[in-house]
Structure 1
Amino acid sequence: MKIKSFEIFDYESAVTFWKSIEGVTLNESDTKGSISSFLFRNPGLSFVAKDNNEIVGTILCGHNGRAAQIYHLAVSNSHRGQGLGKELVDLSLSKLVEANIPRCNIFVYSNNCVGNKFWLKNGWDDPTTWKVLQKQLDV
């Protein structure tokens, strides 16, 4: 297995992979153009794991200069329980530390039991003092 930087030429394979993973939801922010812009603005923070040239893990990570966000951490069922998810997270977090970013947030759907269990097991907090509000923009 090999972990490498997520490049835009990984996009089509990543979308196919994400669609196969329970708990990963794609939306208007996941177009090829949007992901390309995200990767361009955040070089070296997002990764794919490949086994026999097939994607078995992904993480998208970016920051705004003061805080970071992780999206689409996903590991194939065949590779779960082997530390790959933690390795991808640790790799992105180490790059954030190098960039002097002091905090990272994740967005996990409330009903994503597998995802929530993973994050809580790995030391992430579930704050009850704030919530996310969102507005869709006509672009």
Structure 2
Amino acid sequence: MEGENLNHPTWRICRAETSNIDAMLNLWSYIPEIQSSIADSFESVQGFMELNQASFLVALLDVKLIGTVMGGYNGWRGTIYHLAVHPDYRGQGIGRALLEQCIAVLHQRGAPRVDLYTYASNETAQAFYRKLGWRERKEVKNFSWEYSQNLKLPGDKG
């Protein structure tokens, strides 16, 4: 499946390209469930794409970007980021197709497991993932460090 286009009568899934980044950032900016951050810059997305070319996918309707998924593999496990479908195109199986193709690529790359995260308030996404067989891991808490909000590194004495 790696490198393969998944075609549908009206839309298709293929690897993301640098030329798609501006449209991705635009899509993410008006989907409240994504809650884009300063990390979602052209440069950071391009860097992620360079490291994860095969598992960074887009859904296109002709040339219009209507969905995205970023899959990363760090040699230990896979992670899904920014699965997003334009609201006008939801309910057509696009999100599921993006997710399934991304998971297949991550598995081919050696990922024994794939994780993803949603905001606690994003019940729509949680229901979607449960419907597809994902399980919630209540024993795990997620912590983040944001350099823009913390002037010192952890452990700095200064």
Normalised-by-shorter TM-score class: over 0.9
Q: What value does the CA root-mean-square deviation take over the aligned residues? A: 1.5
Structure of higher CA gyration radius: 2
Q: Which of 44, 49, 52 is 2:62 aligned to?
A: 52
Give me the whole-angstrom Cα distance separating, in 1, the residues matched to 2:47 and 2:28. Answer: 19
Deviation at residue 123 of structure 1 after TM alignment: 0.9
Q: Deviation digits for residues 76-104 of structure 1, max 9, x if unmatched?
A: 22221221111101101111111111011
1:125 is aligned to 135
Give me the whole-angstrom Cα distance separating, in 2, the residues matched to 1:128 and 1:113. Answer: 15
Deviation at residue 61 of structure 1 after TM alignment: 0.7
- Following superposition of structure 1 onto structure 2, how do residues 62-77 of structure 1 map, counting pairs within 5 Å? 62-77=72-87
Deviation at residue 13 of structure 1 after TM alignment: 0.7
Deviation at residue 50 of structure 1 after TM alignment: 1.0
Give 1 or 2: higher helix fraction.
1
- Residue 37 (str. 1) matches residue 47 (str. 2): yes
- Structure 2 unaligned spans of 5+: 1-10, 152-158
Deviation at residue 112 of structure 1 after TM alignment: 1.1
Amino acid in the other structure paired with 1:112 = N
Amino acid in the other structure paired with 1:50 = L
Give me the whole-angstrom Cα distance separating, in 2, the residues matched to 1:21 and 1:27. Answer: 12
Deviation at residue 111 of structure 1 after TM alignment: 0.6
- Residue 110 (str. 1) matches residue 120 (str. 2): yes
Amino acid in the other structure paired with 1:84 = I
Deviation at residue 22 of structure 1 after TM alignment: 3.1
Give me the whole-angstrom Cα distance separating, in 1, the residues matched to 2:147 and 2:78. Answer: 22
Give me the whole-angstrom Cα distance separating, in 1, the residues matched to 2:107 and 2:17. Answer: 21
Tell me the TM-score normalised to structure 1 length: 0.93
2:3 is aligned to none
Give me the whole-angstrom Cα distance separating, in 2, the residues matched to 1:104 and 1:42. Answer: 14
- Residue 27 (str. 1) matches residue 40 (str. 2): no
Deviation at residue 20 of structure 1 after TM alignment: 2.5
Percent identity over the alignment? 27
Amino acid in the other structure paired with 1:28 = I
Amino acid in the other structure paired with 2:77 = A
Amino acid in the other structure paired with 2:85 = V
Deviation at residue 136 of structure 1 after TM alignment: 1.5
Q: Select between 17-26 and 60-69 the one with higher mean Cα deviation.
A: 17-26
